[in-house]
Structure 1
Amino acid sequence: MIRGADLKHERIASILAREIRSGRVGHGDQLPGEIELAKRFAVSRNTVRSALAVLTEDGLITTRTGKGSFVLFDGRPLDDRLGWTQALAQQGVETELRVLRLALVPDAAFADRVGLESPDFVVIERLRVIVGGAAISIERSRIPAVGELRDVPSRGLVDGSITATLSQAGFHLDHGRQRLRGRPLDAEEASLLDRPVGTWFLSTRRTSWTADDRFAEQIDSLLDPQHFELSLNYGGTER
């Protein structure tokens, strides 16, 4: 019974997210109120609130107490790596990505979780380095080894970009989830980043899907907190 409620609010959040990302509801626009959304989707206001909470968590909207929910999404690509590169460049920090591993790897358990018939994935591990300076992140991605993507280990990435490689194969990133926490580097990670074992880094995991809900990519990143930060948008809260 609880799972059914979860599916309802997730479905509503998915529909609204697509309308926002498509531009149907633009940056700064106000979403319909809870009562109107409840009537539209034939659900309770509590279910609507849960759906809006998902959109808030994903950074698509902000809710202002007594005023309603407003769209934050401004049309920027979902791919944060493009944003990272641009943000660092604006600070005068030029970076490059070094490919550490590009291989075909089976993982039947993960394939089952994301709904893929083939157990194979293309795994891409990359090190982000400040030009002439230190390494500041490790990025480990896995994408489905289907169609032309299966040949990526032998032919390489399109223009050195995972997003471009996915797009060429018909996988356009549309929506996803991301989590973040802090943790210490283990010995292997510390060696790659040339840092002491136990140094605290930001650890993120982002899973991305296409508009038709096909799995596109999961990326696990370790980020130097001196160069990367998490930005949250929120509205007023009652205490």
Structure 2
Amino acid sequence: MTGVPLKHQRISRILAREIRGGRRPAGEQLPGEHALAQRFGVSRTTVRAARAEVSEEGLIATRTGKGSYVLFDGRPPDDRLGRVCARARQGVESRLRTLAVRATHDSGLATELRLEKNTFVCVERTRELVADATVVSYERSYLPPVSVIRELPAQGLGQDALTEVLLRAGLRPDHGEQRVRGRRIDAHEAELLRRTPGDWFLDTRRTSWAADGSFVEHVAGLLDPDHFELTLAFG
């Protein structure tokens, strides 16, 4: 039935609510797959899908052989300044689709970010609605080619959330900036988004840095304003 969340969505929302509400503080280990499966009366596969959604929100990190740990500390994740949030998470099922994972050179971006090296690993993804396959966003994530990350072009992301991959590589965002403006998309972008050239989209640029000032991630995105909104947190 349209509008009724799937089992894993229901579980992910409960876990996210517990984390955001402070019932599970930062650093706490989540119960294991077996315990969560028993709690919710579902399979371990469903638990894994739910956990992946919570991880994609930046609330937890899963470490192979060690379990899942809470990252959320009461402040917005990622750059801690502000973020563009998907309205699609509020009752409308969506999915991420990886288009490409490749090594690339971008001297312009390196100059803009004041980086010595112009080599990146670029992950291209779209988000689409499950109901009708409408593409609501397109993003390119530029990552430093450190250990783990530089292996992605050959290995791919698999079922891992990009947030988890960053953490395995030792890349944890601490601060940064995000810029958002509206503009009309060109013909190439319209083809990727399955839209019409000239359609209005949000053009976003987000750069994250670690606590020691090292580069973590630069994300260039195009977001459908009917499905995304800018949220700013102060305090």
TM-score, normalization by structure 1: 0.60
Give the corresponding residue for 2:206: 206
**Aligned partners of 1:170 and 1:227: how far apart in 2?**
32
CA distance 1:106–1:137, change in 2 (3 Å): same
Contact kept in structure 2, 1:79 and 1:163, CA below 8 Å: no
What are the Cα deviations for residues 98-144 of structure 1, in whole angstroms up to 9, with x where unaligned? 11111000123433543544331001111110013211000111001
Pairing 1:94–2:93 present = yes
Number of residue pairs aligned between Structure 1 and Structure 2: 160
CA distance 1:79–1:128, change in 2 (3 Å): farther
Give the AA of the match of 1:100.
L
| Match runs of 1:23-62 below 5 Å | none
Deviation at 1:94, TM superposition (A): 0.8
Give the AA of the match of 2:182.
G
Pairing 1:135–2:135 present = yes
Give the corresponding residue for 1:107: 106
Pairing 1:118–2:117 present = yes
Give the corresponding residue for 2:197: 197
Q: Which structure has the larger Rg over C-alpha atoms?
A: 1
Contact kept in structure 2, 1:158 and 1:164, CA below 8 Å: no
Give the corresponding residue for 1:27: none
Deviation at 1:234, TM superposition (A): 8.0
| Match runs of 1:165-204 below 5 Å | 165-204=165-204
Give the AA of the match of 2:224.
D
The runs of at least 4 consecutive aligned structure 1 residues that moved more than 6 Å come to none
Query: Which residues of structure 1 form unaligned runs of 5+?
Result: 1-72
Contact kept in structure 1, 2:136 and 2:223, CA below 8 Å: yes
What are the Cα deviations for residues 36-85 of structure 1, in whole angstroms up to 9, with x where unaligned? xxxxxxxxxxxxxxxxxxxxxxxxxxxxxxxxxxxxx93231279x9845
Give the AA of the match of 2:98.
V
Larger RCO: Structure 1 or Structure 2 (Cα < 8 Å, ≥ 6 residues apart)?
A: 2
Contact kept in structure 1, 2:135 and 2:194, CA below 8 Å: yes
**Aligned partners of 1:193 and 1:101: how far apart in 2?**
15
CA distance 1:152–1:233, change in 2 (3 Å): closer
More strand, by proportion: 2
CA distance 1:83–1:182, change in 2 (3 Å): closer
Q: Secondary structure at the match of 2:197?
A: coil
Q: Secondary structure at the match of 1:105?
A: strand
Give the AA of the match of 1:128.
R
**Percent same amino acid among aligned pairs?**
45
More helix, by proportion: 1
Q: Secondary structure at the match of 2:220?
A: strand
Cα RMSD after superposing both structures: 2.6
Give the AA of the match of 2:138.
I
